[in-house]
Amino acid sequence: MIAADLAPLAVVLPFLGAAVTFILIRHARAQRAVSISTLSVTLLIEVVMLISAPSAGTHAVKLGGWEPPFGIVLVVDQFSALMLVVSSAVSLSVLIYAAGQGMADGDEDGPVSIFHPTYLILVAGVSNAFLTGDLFNLYVGFEILLTASYVLMTLGGTAPRIRAGVTYVVVSVVSSMLFLIAIAMIYGATGTINMADLAVKLESVDPATQLVLHLMLLVAFGIKAAVFPLSFWLPDSYPTAPAPVTAVFAGLLTKVGVYAMVRVETLLFPGDRINSLLMVVALLTMVVGILGALAQSDIKRLLSFTLVSHIGYMVFGLAISTRIGLGAAVYYVAHHIIVQTSLFLVTGLIERRGGTANVDRLGGLAKLSPLLGLLFFLPAMNLAGIPPFSGFLGKLGLIQAGVELGTPLAYVLVAGGVATSLLTLLVMARVWNRAFWRSPADAEDPDPILLASKADGSSVGTSRHVTGEDTGRFAGKDPVRLLPASMTGPTIGLVALGLALTVLAGPLFTLSDGAAQEMLDRTPYIEAVLGAGADR
Amino acid sequence: MTVNITLIVLMAAFFAAGIYLLLERSLTRVLLGLILLGNGANILILATSGPSGRSPLYTAGTPAEEYTDSLPQALILTAIVITFAVTAFMLGIIYRSWVLGRVDDVQDDPEDRRVADQDSYDYEDDADIIADTTEFSEAEDPSAAAAADRAGRTEGPR
């Protein structure tokens, strides 16, 4: 019995929690307690798994005792353990934030009581996708998390969310269909869907057929990961969802797609046959994404475009596919999950304090709430890659890998990466200048909440002081705290976790380097699943 | 591996009709397209299981090749359940879209249109920087400067 044998709990516990919270649908307080404690326990188990992962090596858990390649296996290696811990830490913070929002607004039995069970199912689907060693089970994991995300995306059923939800559902279903078709063709070509078994058997398939299967999988995962030119659905659909939902989607869902791409590239189809294609795709994703962000004035849309743009960095590392490039990509995925989620959570706070997420209508937030300013500034600089933040370290690793490879295309990619980093800084500085630095009076058509002040001129802490005929989004509601500690708390925690990536960069880089080495040398994975000596 | 030509033709017809419907703007047709694509994919999985044989219940002495490959059927069953759930959800949001706006079409993103239509001139970024910032001059009254600033702002090209 080793820690990795606990892997099924990472999927089963959230499912059990979802069932219990579904029964408790009329008891908001009990629901919150159950879902938060479930995710805390899950996170604890995953941390134990991560700590033991480097020494224990790759470990496969055979579900139901069926021997691979016939049964489903869950595989724990350093990459999947790291992804599990990061994703659970992020989803726990977002859950506490969402619960805090509910508490602050007094939604004891609002229409969002379905949030907790759906959210836990989403987490279970993400964990399943990270752990599984079976291609069809990966499809099922994707469907679990996607179906949960459809519900979260259209929460409340308002007109904008339905409009955005329709696009999102159709695009996701089409990508799932492509994945399913690819699975059918792979089964037709090899007669197996176990990933370790495939890694062995695909080598003997005709190279042309291999290329077709490879590209089909990459297109299916490319839609989910929002890689250019398959990324246009994302900035359209993410911003309309509630702030915590957008935050968790931005952090996790695209990264599951990236994770699947990494597995395809390293385990199923190793070699550098399409690396040039991936480099071009990475470059276009970075540059087109950030140019889109420059044109936006809504912070949520702007962040959605930076999300697309920074997916390009991960594809960059994957396309280089040397040990150092892959290791930097693994580190960058962990960094980006945390930073992008914290930025979206802060945007939720901005929207609450300023009444809108449109930068043209915001101003003076740094003076109104210095804490909010700090919470935005740190992850924003982290995303742009200012030293000594983790964004800088990740980008440095990628650039080092690109220079080491030394082909002309790699140098173009390095230049594109640096330019994207600078443009990200520009985008973040624009938000900072408008929403935080200028006077609220300069804002165009500001929300009443932004201009409200107490009788002595000091800034307000609740919506009670909003006067005038139009009180904006707080009209007709009881006074609520604008920045409740239950919402700022988890945001501070996540921003601090982003800073911890810098402090812990040494051990983390060792870990991601180990993960990269494990992936490039496929033998540990294959032997863990199929037994020693199976790969040759 | 042998393949069943009927299944392949059927699959091709489903995919062709499904993709055609998917490209329509009406949501109901898009949904029908998705259902056809799902069924086409299921037929493709069935086609990969090879020729049919004995039911996969163990009988002593029967060689392995005589049984039907049962794994694709298990995959199809799972895929059908998933397609069913997604179809039900799609019907739900299509109905909701009809209730809310009497529309059965894919809607434009208003924020996207707004960004596309906006002027490339941006007051905040592109306006001339005022040479004298009054910070160290004693004569100017700050509130008057703010008022002048606002006046300049409304006149500025937008």
| Alpha carbon of B1: minimum distance to chain A alpha carbons (Å) | 8
Same-domain check for residues B11 and B85: yes
Torsion region of B119: left, alpha or beta (phi above 0 gives left; psi -120 to 50 gives alpha): beta
Rounded to the nearest 10°, the torsion over CA A484, A490, A491, A495 is 150
- Asked if residue B143 belongs to a domain, the reply is yes
Q: Does one domain contain both B46 and B121? A: no
Mean pLDDT of chain A: 85
CA distance A410 to chain B (A): 33
**Confidence band for A464, pLDDT divided at 50, 70 and 90:** low
Query: How many angstroms separate the CA of residue A150 from the nearest CA in chain B?
Result: 8
State the pLDDT at residue B16. 95
**Does pLDDT of A455 surpass 50?**
yes
Distance from CA of A179 to the nearest CA of B (A): 10
Whole-angstrom distance, CA of residue A262 vs CA of residue A431: 33
Domain membership flag for residue B64: no
ipTM more than 0.90?
A: no
Angle at A383 between CA A381 and CA A386, to 5 degrees: 45
Amino acid at A157: G
**Helices of type H across A385-504:** 390-405, 408-431, 448-451, 485-503
Confidence of residue B157 (pLDDT cuts 50, 70, 90): very low
Q: How far is B145 from chain A (nearest CA, A)?
A: 13
A90 class by beta-carbon count within 10 Å (0-12 exposed, 13-18 middle, 19+ buried): buried
Same domain, B19 and B92: yes
How many angstroms separate the CA of residue A181 from the nearest CA in chain B? 6
Of the two residues A443 and A289, the one the predictor is more confident about is A289
Domain identity same for B132 and B151: yes
Mean pLDDT of all residues in A209-236 = 90
Three-state DSSP at A177 gives helix
Instruction: Please list every residue in chain B whose beta carbon sits closer than 8 Å to the beta carbon of residue A179.
Output: none
Q: Same structural domain for residues B115 and B135?
A: yes
User: Quick check: A183 pLDDT over 80?
Assistant: yes
- Per-residue pLDDT band at A233 (split at 50, 70, 90): confident
Residue B63 within any structural domain of the chain: no
B88 versus B58: the higher-pLDDT residue is B88
Share the mean pLDDT of chain B.
79
pLDDT for residue A107 = 57
pLDDT in tens, B51-79: 778 888 888 888 878 888 888 888 999 99
Do B121 and B49 fall into the same domain?
no
A74: left (phi over 0), alpha (psi -120 to 50) or beta: beta
**What's the whole-number mean pLDDT along residues A287-302?**
89
Whether B39 and B101 share a structural domain: yes
Determine the Cα–Cα distance for residues A401 and B72; give it in Å rounded to an integer.
42
From CA A255, how far away is CA A511, in angstroms rounded?
Answer: 18
State whether A236 and B109 contact (CB < 8 Å): yes
Q: Which of A334, A195, A369 is nearest to A268 (CA)?
A: A195
Residues of B in contact with A147 (CB under 8 A): 82, 85-86, 89
Rounded Cα distance between A486 and A345, Å, is 12
Q: What pLDDT is stored for residue B68 in this prediction?
A: 83
* Number of Cβ within a 10 Å radius of residue B99: 11
Q: Which residues of chain B approach chain A closer than 8 Å at the C-beta? A: 1, 22, 27, 30, 34, 37-38, 41, 44-45, 47-48, 71-72, 75, 78-79, 82, 85-86, 89-90, 93-94, 96-97, 100-101, 106-107, 109, 111-112, 115, 118, 124-125, 146, 149-150, 153
CA distances in angstroms from A499 to A338, A339, A347, A366, A479, listed in the order given: 10, 9, 18, 21, 34
How many Å lie between the alpha carbon of A62 and the closest alpha carbon of chain B? 18
Q: Do A147 and B100 touch (CB under 8 A)?
A: no
Of B82, B106, B150, the CB nearest to A166: B106
A interface test, pick of B2, B43, B45, B73 with most A CB neighbours within 10 Å: B45
Least confident of A40-49, A72-81, A431-440, B134-143: B134-143
B48 to chain A: which residues are within 8 Å by CB? 184-185, 187-188
Q: Is the minimum CB–CB distance between A177 and chain B shorter than 8 Å?
A: yes
Checking if the pLDDT of A69 tops 90, the result is: no
Neighbours of A367 (CB within 10 A): 13
- Pick from B22, B79, B93: CB nearest A180: B79
Minimum distance, in Å, between the CA of residue B57 and any CA atom of chain A: 16
- Residue B94: inside a domain: yes
All residues of chain B having their beta carbon less than 8 Å from the beta carbon of residue A71 are none
Q: Is the dihedral of CA A264, A270, A273, A278 positive or negative?
A: positive
Reported pTM: 0.88
Would you list the DSSP string of A184-210? HHHHHHHS--BHHHHHHHGGGS-HHHH
Whether the pLDDT of residue B155 is over 50: the answer is: no
Reported as a single tens digit per residue, the pLDDT across A369-404 is 888 888 899 999 999 888 888 888 889 989 989 898
User: Is A169 within 8 Å of chain B by CB?
Assistant: yes
Same domain for B146 and B100? no
A176: nearest CA partner in chain B: B38
- Residue B18 in domain: yes
Q: Do A170 and B34 touch (CB under 8 A)?
A: yes
Sketch the domain layout of chain A as residue ranges: 272-440+486-503
B58 assigned to some structural domain: no
pLDDT single digits (tens) A318-375? 988 888 889 999 999 999 999 999 999 999 888 888 877 888 888 878 877 888 888 8
Q: Do B22 and A170 touch (CB under 8 A)?
A: yes
pLDDT, residue A256, reads 93
Residues of chain A contacting residue B30, judged by C-beta atoms under 8 Å apart: 170
How high is the pLDDT of residue B156?
44
Q: Is residue B11 part of a domain?
A: yes
Integer Cα distance of A230 and A207 in angstroms: 25
Lowest-confidence pick of A49-53, A140-144, A453-457: A453-457
Residue B147 has pLDDT above 50, yes or no: yes
**How far does chain B reach from its first CA to its final CA, in angstroms?**
67
Task: Please confirm whether the linkage preceding A69 is cis (ω < 30° from 0).
Answer: yes
Report which secondary-structure segment, H or E, holds A319: helix A299-320
Count of domains observed in chain B: 2
How does residue A123 score in pLDDT terms, banded at 50, 70 and 90? Answer: very high
Query: CB distance A174–B125 less than 8 Å?
Result: no
Overall average pLDDT of the B33-50 stretch: 90
Burial of A467 (0-12, 13-18, 19+ CB in 10 A): exposed
- What does the pLDDT look like over A258-281, one tens digit per residue? 999 999 988 888 877 888 899 999
How far off is chain B from A100, nearest CA to CA, in Å? Answer: 28
- Compute CA A64 distance to the chain's CA centroid, rounded to the nearest angstrom: 30
Instruction: State which residues form the domain around B39.
Output: 5-53+69-107
Of B82, B101, B118, which is closest to A159 when you measure between CB atoms? Answer: B101
Calculate ∠ Cα B126-B127-B130, nearest 5°.
Answer: 135
In a domain, residue B85? The reply is yes
Q: Are A336 and A310 in contact (CB under 8 A)?
A: yes
Q: Do B109 and A298 touch (CB under 8 A)?
A: no
Residue contact A163–B97, C-beta within 8 A: yes
**How far out from the chain centre does Cα A334 lie?**
9
Same domain, B36 and B102: yes
Helix (H, G, I), strand (E, B) or coil at A134: strand
- Contact (Cβ atoms closer than 8 angstroms) between residue A502 and residue A106: no
Strands A73-76 and A59-62: antiparallel
Asked, as a colleague might, if the bond just before A229 is cis with ω within 30 of 0, I would say yes
- To the nearest whole percent, how much of chain A has pLDDT over 70? 92
Identify which of B130, B39, B131 has the alpha carbon closest to the alpha carbon of residue B83.
B39
What residues of chain B lie within 8 A of the CB of A234, using their CB? none
A196: pLDDT strictly greater than 50? yes
Residue with tokens 């990475």: A282
**Are B49 and B100 within one domain?**
yes
Give the residue among A287, A295, A299, A146 at the shortest CA–CA distance from A228.
Answer: A287
**Residue B95 maps to which CATH number?**
1.10.287.3510
pLDDT of residue A67: 82
Cα(A158)–Cα(A162) distance, rounded to whole angstroms? 6
pLDDT of amino acid A260: 93
Q: Which residues contact B45 (CB under 8 A, 6 or more apart)?
A: A180, A183, A184, A187, B72, B75, B76, B79
- How far apart are alpha carbons A421 and A427 in whole angstroms? 10
**Residue A209 touches partner B, C-beta closer than 8 Å:** no
Residues of A in contact with B149 (CB under 8 A): 442
Mark residue A475 as left, alpha or beta (left: phi above 0; alpha: psi -120 to 50; beta: remaining). beta
